[in-house]
Copies of this chain bind each other. A is one copy, B any other.
Amino acid sequence: MVYEIASIPGDGIGPEVVDAARPVFEDVAERHGFELSFTRYDWGTERHLEEGAMMPENGLKELEGYDAILLGAVGHPDVPDHVTLNNLLLPIRKGFDQSICKRPAILFDGVESPLEGYDGGDIDFVVYRENTEGEYADMGGQEHPGHDHEVAVQSAVFTRTGTERIVRAAFDAATEREGHLTSITKSNAQAHSMVFWDQIVEEVSEEYPDVTVERLLVDAASMDFIRRPEEFDVVVASNLFGDILTDIGAIITGSMGLAPSANIDPTRTYPSMFEPVHGSAPDIVGDGVANPLATVFSGSMMVAHLGESEAGEALWNAATDQLADSEAPRTPDLGGSSGTEDVVEDLRSRL
């Protein structure tokens, strides 16, 4: 079996982590009797600066035939983020209807949390983030520029289709986990969108009588991720709320350098995309110390999504073994002084 993977290393440390992790993925494939065939696309801000576009006009068409996409990072200090993101990362998520963004937040053994009193194993939840609409809808504009009565409007759009599918995916996940779902809202201040969200959660919950549902306001949830993270199981949130909460989830579990994500089209009409949650990290580019583990965990989710669940587990376990081993190399974000390559080499020896 050969799986065709489009690799888009992107900006900043993206190429460092994606290129470093690739041999790990190839190793694990070989050991499990399949092949991952990577095609590398040099799309990103360098291309934008040279050729005026983050990706070619037919970029999405080009990606369509792949089994999955592995993305590094998008973002560059010299170009505004809304230019770079809206021309590479977000068009893929939206264009390929990757409506389900799955982001685990796990405090692994051997990793320190900034929260006092939390040790490895104490935190283990997953956020299901709506990934194609909501507050990220590209809808709105500015009127009367420069005048006193100038106004800007940004409209959040929630469709029944989009909301139902993320909510249903989260209920499915809760069924397979501890049976507890937390739905994030801001219904007290956003009566048009969030009351609709609550209504869909209510409707769908009737199909899942064994799942307990808790509703939590986004502000309270941000607090509770710090105050009682151990109590969460599956969390379902809109695009923006999911964005904020998964960053909190990443930091309370030790490092942005460990947080993986999967952007999934559940219908499998289009390729799904796997990416570390960390960004391009311009401050450490070229130092060779970027943590490749978020990419490795993302790759584990990718391989599992392709149907190779044993290989996915092998990758996951190699990474968690390494983290639990106090003698193993670790990058500076985890308090170590090793480089990207040391971590990768050690990982390969554990497969």
8 A Cβ contacts from A173-194 to B: 186-194
Q: Which of A150, A194, A250 has the most CB of B within 10 A?
A: A150
Check if A223 is an interface residue, CB within 8 A of chain B.
yes
Contacts of A187 in B (CB 8 A): 80-82
> How many of these chains are in the complex?
2
- In the complex, which residues 204-224 of chain A have their Cβ closer than 8 Å to any Cβ of chain B? 217-220, 222-223
- A157 part of interface (Cβ distance < 8 Å): yes
* Chain B residues, Cβ within 8 Å of A138: 191-192
Establish whether residues A151 and B142, one from each chain, have CB atoms under 8 Å apart when the complex forms.
Answer: no
Assess the B158–A156 pair: CB atoms within 8 A.
no
Q: Are A192 and B150 in contact (CB under 8 A)?
A: no
In whole Å, how far is A290's beta carbon from the nearest beta carbon of chain B?
Answer: 17
Q: For A74, give the chain B residue with the smallest CB separation.
A: B188
Are the C-beta atoms of B116 and A189 separated by less than 8 Å? no
Of the stretches A17-25, A120-128, A239-247, A299-307, the one at the interface is: A239-247
A196 CB contact (under 8 Å) in B85, B142, B248:
B142
Q: Please, which residues of chain B bring their CB within 8 A of the CB of A135?
A: 135, 189-190
Q: Please indicate which of the listed interface residues A84, A144, A156, A227 has the most CB atoms of chain B within 10 Å of its own CB.
A: A156
A interface secondary structure, majority: mixed
Please tell me if the beta carbons of B243 and A219 are within 8 angstroms of each other in the complex. yes
Minimum CB–CB distance from A218 to chain B (whole Å) comes to 6
| B189/A160 in contact, CB under 8 A | no
Q: Decide if B153 touches A189 in the complex (CB within 8 Å).
A: no
A193 near B154 with CB under 8 A, answer: yes
Cα–Cα, bound, A158→B193 (Å): 18
Interface size on A, residues (CB 8 A): 66
Residues of B contacting A90 in the complex (Cβ-Cβ under 8 angstroms): 189
Complex CA gap A218/B242 in Å reads 12
Q: How far is the CB of A300 from chain B (nearest CB, A)?
A: 23
A136–B147 Cα gap in the complex (Å)? 23
Q: Does A159 contact B (CB under 8 A)?
A: yes
Which single residue of chain B is at the shortest CB-CB distance from A239?
Answer: B189
Q: Which of B81, B152, B192 contacts A154 (CB 8 A)?
A: B192
Q: Is the CB of B227 within 8 A of A248?
A: no
In this complex, what residue of B is CB-closest to A157? Answer: B153
Which residue of the partner chain, among B113, B144, B222, B247, contacts A220 with CB atoms under 8 Å? B247
Q: Which residue of B lies closest to A193 (CB)?
A: B154
A140-B192, A151-B157, A153-B155 known; A227 and B251 CB under 8 Å?
Answer: yes
Whether B150 contacts A160 by the Cβ 8 Å rule is yes
14 A-B contact pairs sorted by A residue (CB < 8 Å): A85-B188, A86-B188, A135-B190, A136-B189, A148-B160, A150-B159, A152-B196, A153-B192, A154-B193, A186-B240, A223-B251, A226-B248, A227-B251, A248-B248
